[in-house]
Every structure is written in C-alpha cells, then in structure tokens.
Amino acid sequence: MVIQNGMSIVGVGAWWVGYRYWWTPDRRSAGTGAAGVGARRGGVGTRPLVHDERVLEWVRHAHEGTRFTTSVCTGSLVLAAAGLLDGLTATTHWSVLEELLALGAEPTSDRVVEHLDRRIITAAGVSSGIDMALRLVEVLVDETAAKASQLMIEYDPQPPFDAGALAKCDATVVERVIEYAALRQ
C-alpha cells in the first residue's frame, strides 16, 4: 500500500482502488471520495465480462472519476470492450493480442503501455504488472517512492530462464503453455 497526501492504494477483490472507493458494479457510489487508481486484473473469468454491458457501463462510469485506470494481463480486454482503449496502443497477455485488436485497441507486445493524458496504463502480464505498479508509484508520488517500493518487495528479477516473452520461446514451450491454460478453463 502507498499512502501520499491522504490517498491510499489498496486491493479490493478483482479491482485495485484508491481512496475509500469500492469498485464493484453494484456499489459504484459506495465509500467517500473518488477513486485514485482503478485496475482491472486479468485471468480466469475476464472474457465473459467483455459481453456484460452492466459491467462495461460501470467501468466507463468509474473511469470518469479515477486519476488512472489500469489493467494487468487480460484485464485490458474489459477496458477495450468498454471503449476506453479505442484507437490507443495497449498491451495484454500475448495469447489474446488479436482479441484486443478486435475490441478496438492497437495491440503491442510491450510490457507496459502508458497514455498518461488519457489516464490509462496497461500491463502485459503478471510480472509486467509489477513494472506498471512501480511506474504508477513514480507518477503519483516520486521516483524515490517507486525505488523504495521496489526495494520493499525485493523486486530484482533474475529469472533462471530467458523464456518470459513469446518471441523467446520455441513451439514446444508454447504448446505446453496452451496445455496448461486448457486445464484452467
């Protein structure tokens, strides 16, 4: 959690929110004050949300009051379906870049994509979500706070393999990922 000038960034269910605001479609006005930061996580259960107009309308409404609206992994599909990413470059998990394109965004395999003037930041996957979070701390607070956060979580990636991007993997690894993903459905 980061606290600066009375704003806290905390986790609440499927959404990360700031400053005493509960981000759920049924309680959009609950709490006090506007959301500081909203983030849509990805993963299992995300894809049906792109067809749920109640959720999409709520996302559009919530974005009006945030300092930043962000997503990690396939959470960007929800932001795109709500129209927040129309014509913008955005990122998501490599396996759904084409779905992101179909929803009106311009997909890229970059780890983090910022549109600070639109108050939108997207991150490709779980580890890039950490990168995005550190960048967000820098934008909202300062570089020292971001570095302190990085040290606090001891984020110093040194993976044992260089297989963290689709372009770095052979077909055997990709097939295994698809196999594992099918088990999660």
Q: Where do the structural domains in the chain lie, given as residue ranges?
A: 2-158
**pTM, 2 dp:** 0.80
Please identify which of the residues 9, 17, 73, 123 carries the catalytic annotation: 73
**Annotated catalytic residue 73:** yes
Please list the pLDDT of the chain residue by residue as tens digits (185 residues): 343 444 444 333 344 434 333 344 544 444 434 557 877 888 888 888 999 998 899 889 889 888 899 999 999 999 999 999 999 999 999 999 999 999 999 999 999 999 999 999 999 998 999 999 999 999 988 999 999 999 999 999 999 999 999 999 999 999 999 999 888 76
What is the SS3 assignment for 115?
Answer: strand
Tokens of 51: 């067809």
Alpha carbon 174 to its chain centroid, in Å, reads 23
The CATH architecture assigned to 2-158 reads 3-Layer(aba) Sandwich (3.40)
User: CA 120 to CA 86: how far, in whole Å?
Assistant: 12
Q: Do residues 39 and 54 touch, judged by C-beta distance below 8 A? A: no
